A and B are shown apart, each in its own frame.
Chain A
Amino acid sequence: GAGVSQTPSNKVTEKGKYVELRCDPISGHTALYWYRQSLGQGPEFLIYFQGTGAADDSGLPNDRFFAVRPEGSVSTLKIQRTERGDSAVYLCASSLSGRATDTQYFGPGTRLTVL
């Protein structure tokens, strides 16, 4: 079956611009996660959705970062006034429910480069 998909696969933008990154989770998965991975580091948690609501947004680095999941399926991560330090691979994962024992399935990521 289809896995988690993310678009675009690569995004190059200029400092100060606004970007949107999209995640399509596995059909039927109610939990959705965003992570960010800098070069040479492990993924770092950003935000977790259970259905339409953000159950844990403790990983968002500042108020330039915002994510939505209006219909409980597709999610969009939005970054305002991008900075060079935002350059990273943004990973999305989904799981069947929000239980901690559920396996998280990851997408291929979106590589964001801020010039």
Chain B
Amino acid sequence: DAKTTQPPSMDCAEGRAANLPCNHSTISGNEYVYWYRQIHSQGPQYIIHGLKNNETNEMASLIITEDRKSSTLILPHATLRDTAVYYCIVRVTSSSGANSKLTFGKGITLSVRP
């Protein structure tokens, strides 16, 4: 799986949009971008994933650049409960189930301030 690079931390004000960047310059054509988050003392939680088109769900939006070398996770209206470590993961997909494990980096710590 391709490696991802994320800044170690960032903060944003409650109610504002949080834009979390991720670089994955060695991503291959068959690799998806996944985002998980981990709130303190809990297991990781799936947020969203995408291949090349932008994606949106009830939690967040994922913007992937045209060259697919970077992406941004957007939390449109951050709340205090969004304070967590956010992991950007690049993942090969195969129908056989090989490579189904997740390879986590250190992630980015988002602190939402009141």
Query: A interface vs B, CB < 8 Å?
Result: 4, 31, 33, 35, 40-45, 48, 50, 55-56, 59, 91, 93, 95, 97-109
Contacts A45-B103, A100-B91; is A55 near B97 (CB within 8 Å)? yes
Contacts A100-B91, A100-B92, A101-B32; is A43 near B44 (CB within 8 Å)? yes
Smallest beta-carbon distance B59→chain A, Å: 12
Residues from chain B with a CB closer than 8 A to the CB of A41 are 106
Query: B interface vs A, CB < 8 Å?
Result: 32, 41-46, 49, 85, 87, 91-95, 97-107
A45, A91, A104: residue with the most chain B Cβ atoms closer than 10 Å: A104
Top 4 nearest A-B pairs (CB, nearest first) are A106-B43, A42-B104, A98-B97, A45-B101
User: Cβ of A99 and Cβ of B106 under 8 Å apart?
Assistant: no
Interface of A is mostly: loop
Which single member of B43, B91, B103 contacts A109 (CB below 8 Å)? B43
18 A-B interface contacts by CB (under 8 A): A31-B97, A35-B102, A42-B104, A45-B103, A56-B100, A91-B43, A91-B44, A95-B100, A99-B93, A99-B100, A100-B91, A100-B93, A100-B100, A101-B49, A102-B100, A104-B46, A105-B46, A106-B43
Which single member of B43, B94, B107 contacts A42 (CB below 8 Å)? B107
